[in-house]
Structure 1
Amino acid sequence: MGNRLSKIYTRTGDDGSTGLGDGSRVPKDSPRVAAYGTVDELNSTIGMVLACEGVDEAVREALTQVQHELFDLGGELCIPGMAMIEDTDVARLETVLDAFNEPLPPLKDFILPGGGMAASCCHLARTVCRRAEREVISLRHVEPEVRPQTQRYLNRLSDLLFVLCRVLARAGGHGEVLWQHERRRKPASG
């Protein structure tokens, strides 16, 4: 392994800037930092799913692979010009998604976040993933050299996380929490 951090604080960011992987410095609120920061947040929320009791080994294996790929994706966003996420990574997500989705019954209603701790944490990861995707899209507007594979990966990952929410809710014995759209149509009493 290359350089190791022996000192955690450097004070170089006290002026509101941060160093990218290529050595350049940018404001901490730049679109690039927002994008890879949100990918880091996403990785942390997936860690919360993995910390939950009773997560099936197949789900655990899929999400651990995703965590590694998110670290690569964050590195790609942190180092302008770097290419780490490929079309094969997106295709792998599609294969995993299809395998988890195939045994599930078709959806007839919207699902509310819930269904036990693991499913709830996965819903949180799904929403953070959507935000990471939006951040990457915003970054691509100002820095078009950002590769489309990152955006496609996050889009597909949010779909996988949605399916895993369903899987985890069912596996945890809580079931999916369905939106009760008919509740609004009840006549007012009184």
Structure 2
Amino acid sequence: MKLYTKKGDRGQTSLFSGRRAAKFDPRVAAVGDLDELTASLGLARVVFPEATDILCRAQKALYTISAIVSAEARKIDLAFDDAETAALEAEIDRATDALPPLRDFIYPGEAEASARLHMARAVARRAERSVAALEDPPAPQSALAYLNRLSDLLFALARLADLRSGHADRMLGG
């Protein structure tokens, strides 16, 4: 089996729903942003292995969200569970319990792991905006909540990565 099909050579691709869509279609763009986020989490795992379990779980969740977004209104046997968001919240709480209080905005990336986690956070926020902009049908509320919380987790993990590497938060005001 060849990796290439040549079906997208004219600027269109197929969604899981079966619809052919322009590669600049908002739904295709949202799936692309989710794919980029999944890859960004892979980079973050490489440099911050202590978060491997939660980041792998997030990658799996993002594949589910991508399938739901790509399926449009087609009935599929996938749902996105609020338990995934609750798992992120537990991880956020665990990370922030180990961190000093945040008193100001911080400059991202005192160490490589932190910089990659902050980059993944920025990609997560873009993916969230892309998914939130979808209409007819809109993305499930549970998926939007998950993406919002994922960026919070990545922020907390970035701060934790700095702390564990011996760097303090570099505050904007000081």
- TM-score, scaled to structure 1: 0.84
Q: Does 1:147 align with 2:140?
A: yes
Q: Find the counterpart in structure 2 of residue 106 from structure 1.
A: 101
Separation of aligned partners in 1, 2:9 and 2:49: 43
For residue 56 of structure 1, report the CA deviation from its aligned partner.
4.8
Which of 61, 64, 67 aligns to 1:72? It is 64
For the residue of structure 2 that corresponds to 1:177, the secondary structure is: coil
Shift of the alpha carbon at 1:176? Answer: 2.0
Q: Which amino acid aligns with 1:164?
A: L
Structure 2 distance, partners of 1:175, 1:93, is 24
RMSD: 1.5
1:129, distance to aligned residue in structure 2 (A): 0.4
Deviation, 1:40, is: 0.6
Question: Aligned in 2, Cα 1:34/1:94: closer, same or farther, shift over 3 Å?
Answer: same
Q: Deviations over 1:11-57 (max 9, x none)?
A: 111121100112221111111111111011011111111122xx253
In structure 2, what is the Cα distance between the partners aligned to 1:71 and 1:26? Answer: 19
Give 1:36's aligned amino acid: V
Q: CA deviation at 1:150?
A: 1.4
Q: For residue 157 of structure 2, what is the aligned residue in structure 1? A: 164
Counterpart for residue 120 of structure 2: 125
CA distance in 2, matches of 1:177, 1:143: 43
Cα distance in 1 for residues equivalent to 2:49 and 2:165: 10
Is the contact made by 2:17 and 2:71 (CA closer than 8 Å) also made in structure 1? yes
Number of residue-to-residue matches in the alignment: 171
Larger radius of gyration: 1
Consecutive unaligned residues of structure 1, counting only runs of 5 or more, are 1-5, 183-190
In structure 2, runs of 5+ residues without a counterpart are none
Say which SS state the counterpart of residue 112 (structure 1) adopts: coil
Q: Which amino acid aligns with 1:102?
A: D
The partner residue of 1:46 within 41, 51, 71 is 41
1:98 & 1:85 partners in 2: Cα distance? 22
Identity %: 39
TM-score (norm 2): 0.91
